[in-house]
């Protein structure tokens, strides 16, 4: 038979365990709340107390984990974007298909894991507010833009080395790949409101079209030109 004292000790232990689990979960809950508010309202308009309230904690608790709103934003970027580059580079290292398939995989993967998620709003936020927050802009460039460009150039270099791609300007060719991604984000978060209602943009169809245009270009090949004249 369990004594009342044992029951009391057990109940206290369970409460303590729940508190510990809650404490461990708080940083993630704060980052989720911050991401939602930063995307909804922008960086400047989001207040620390709003993030804390949405996460169900006090403002003081928020600052125990993140000493400033700027540090909170950096943590959001690392959690949702830059912290994933190690995994992406590892996947690309192990990729066994053609370089064309690698590019298709890259853009499809980006949409599935970033573009279609809440994290895509971070890019829209940076486009609209970077000039007002140069420190955050420099951080974003170092943590997201540079690694992203390096990863894309890695695909192009692989294609060149294998004789699959002919790239005249590696630096600018990488922008040709990121530009469609940025456009899709802007359509999702801003420009889509101006699009004709009878022509909704299908992200997967758009990405597939952009990839094939990048791979094949608009130039008519000799064989195709002859077919067209027949």
pLDDT of residue 20: 45
Alpha carbons 48 and 68: distance in angstroms, whole number:
8
pLDDT of residue 191: 80
**Which residue is it, tokens 């540090």?**
71
pLDDT of residue 15: 42
pLDDT of residue 2: 59
pLDDT of residue 10: 55
Which two structure tokens, joined as six digits, stand for 76?
A: 């959001």
Per-position pLDDT tens, the chain of length 230: 556 656 555 545 544 434 444 455 589 999 999 999 999 999 999 999 999 999 999 999 999 999 999 999 999 999 999 999 999 999 999 999 999 999 999 999 999 999 999 999 999 999 999 999 999 999 999 999 999 999 999 999 999 999 999 998 999 999 999 999 999 999 988 887 777 777 778 999 999 999 999 999 877 666 554 554 44
Q: Which residues contact 22 (CB under 8 A, 6 or more apart)?
A: none
pLDDT of residue 219: 72
Residue 203: closest CA among 178, 189, 185:
185
Alpha carbons 49 and 59: distance in angstroms, whole number:
5
**Radius of gyration of the chain measured on its C-alpha atoms:** 24
DSSP string, 153-213: HHHHHHHHHTT----S-HHHHHHHHHHHHHHHHHHHHTGGGGS-TTS---HHHHHHHHHHH
At 2, is the secondary structure helix, strand, or coil?
coil
pLDDT of residue 230: 46
pLDDT of residue 195: 72
pLDDT of residue 190: 85
Question: What residue ranges define each of the domains in the chain, with the CATH number in brackets?
Answer: 4-69 (1.10.10.60), 81-229 (1.10.357.10)
| DSSP count for the chain of H helices, then E strands | 12, 0
pLDDT of residue 196: 72
Contact of 42 with 121, CB cutoff 8 Å: no
DSSP string, 26-71: HHHHHHHHHHHHHHHH-TTT--HHHHHHHHTS-HHHHHHH-SSHHH
pLDDT of residue 225: 47
């Amino acid at each position: 038979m369990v004594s009342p004292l044992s029951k009391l000790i057990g109940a206290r232990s369970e409460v303590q365990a729940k508190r510990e689990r809650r404490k461990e979960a708080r940083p993630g809950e704060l980052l989720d709340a911050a991401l939602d508010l930063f995307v909804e309202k922008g960086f400047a308009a989001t207040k620390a107390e709003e993030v804390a309230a949405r996460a169900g904690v006090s403002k003081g608790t928020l600052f125990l984990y993140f000493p400033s709103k700027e540090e909170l934003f950096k943590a959001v970027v690392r959690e949702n974007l830059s912290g994933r580059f190690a995994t992406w580079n590892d996947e690309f290292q192990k990729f066994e298909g053609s370089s064309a398939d690698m590019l298709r995989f890259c853009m499809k993967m980006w949409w599935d894991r970033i573009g279609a998620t809440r994290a895509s709003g971070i890019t829209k936020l940076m486009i609209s507010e970077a000039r007002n927050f140069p420190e955050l802009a420099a951080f974003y460039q170092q943590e997201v833009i540079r690694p992203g460009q390096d990863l894309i150039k890695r695909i192009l270099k692989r294609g060149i080395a294998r004789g699959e791609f002919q790239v005249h300007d590696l630096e600018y060719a990488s922008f040709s790949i990121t530009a469609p991604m940025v456009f899709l984000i802007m359509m999702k978060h801003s420009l889509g409101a101006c699009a004709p209602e009878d022509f909704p943009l299908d992200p997967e169809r758009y990405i597939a079209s952009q990839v094939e245009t990048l791979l094949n270009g608009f130039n008519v090949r000799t064989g195709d030109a002859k077919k067209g004249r027949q």
